[in-house]
Chain A
Amino acid sequence: MAHAEAHADEHHYTATGIDNKKLAIWTFIGSECMFFASLIGVYLTYKGRDVSGPKPHAEWLDKAGVLQEQMLEIPLVTFGTALLLFSSFFVVLALNGAQRGNRKQLIGWLVATIFCGVFFVGMQVYEFSHFAHRGMGYTTNLFASTFYTLTGFHGTHVTLGLLWLISVLVVALRGKLPPEKALNLEMAALYWHFVDVVWIVIFPVVYLIR
């Protein structure tokens, strides 16, 4: 019985052929679906039940009795959405580079991805502070609370994804992401895409449907 050679293989043995880490990240994503479903469910359930303004898609009277524009600003978020979609595209290319051992492709696109992500978070920070400026605090009304909570938790996920991607970038920069370790980027990328698809749902549900 040749133990030694058996082990080398046994450490990577999986019954399905799918790598453990990849399966794990997908399982986690499945669980996250329920997390966002609950938040979106709460948002939609409470949609339109505010006692007073601000309103997402209609004019509203503020405390002073002044008529205010609708809260949500579609052009800004459309730009943010585009950024996120771009980043998903970029990270796929980065992964492609990593798998083929093309360091330039890997690093270049990864940096681009991170840029887009940072700008998206920046967009959200700007949006939130702008809303706050316009008189929509966290507790102002149900719309405000549900909106900030849903998009805020999404933003937190984006931030975590960024942290992860940046960590992978650092590893890559130090030349420690050879093709056989591309899975480390693939996991981050999968999570990143997931964050992106959640936004694909949030964008119409929150911003476009009145």
Chain B
Amino acid sequence: MHSSVITFPGSNCDRDVDVALKKFGFKNKMVWHDDVELPKSDLVVLPGGFSYGDYLRCGSMASKSKIMKSVLNFAQGGGKVMGICNGFQILVESGLLPGVLLRNKYLEFICKNVFVKVNNKDNSYFKDDKKDIYEFHIAHNEGNYFCSNEQIKEINDNNQIALFYSDENGNINEQSNPNGSLQNIAGVFNKQKNVLGMMPHPERMIDPALSGEDGSIFFENLINNLK
């Protein structure tokens, strides 16, 4: 399986996700934002970080970079594109995913473990998942998912919600919403479900010595699904 991780100026989880992809069997290439062509890939990952310093709006300037044209084409042709954290923000700004990520409700950066509930397993990201509820790590200042009333209706009608913030038993409620996201949304798909954006960082949980190991389960499953 071939994957590509795009490095934008200010990306800072590009190495982390490279480590994770390789650990679970991907042949990964790093791709520079200023390149025009994507290498042949089964999966393209937009990593976390602070592309362009998160200035103006998170992801807004990265969404204009050269490589994004290729990413757009790739996605429109059904290619798998996954955005984590800042990558999610870039996908939203580039129009590949609906909605927008606003500043966290309590106006503070949050770095901690949370639980997320998988909503839709009918896609290559979560198909045959052993788990319904993952313990993942979040680290962001702008993860407060928002969209218009029409959009949210469409998202629900198309079953586009990927992950909800929940408690460890899968209850989706205000207490388990760390950042004020609409309907506790932690991740969404595009209509075709080949593009996924999510705030949590599975790549930070791939080793028993780290915050947890649910990320390993996610990546193992992902590569199996793509095979």
Q: Do A and B come from one complex?
A: no
Interface residue ranges, A against B (CB under 8 Å) = none
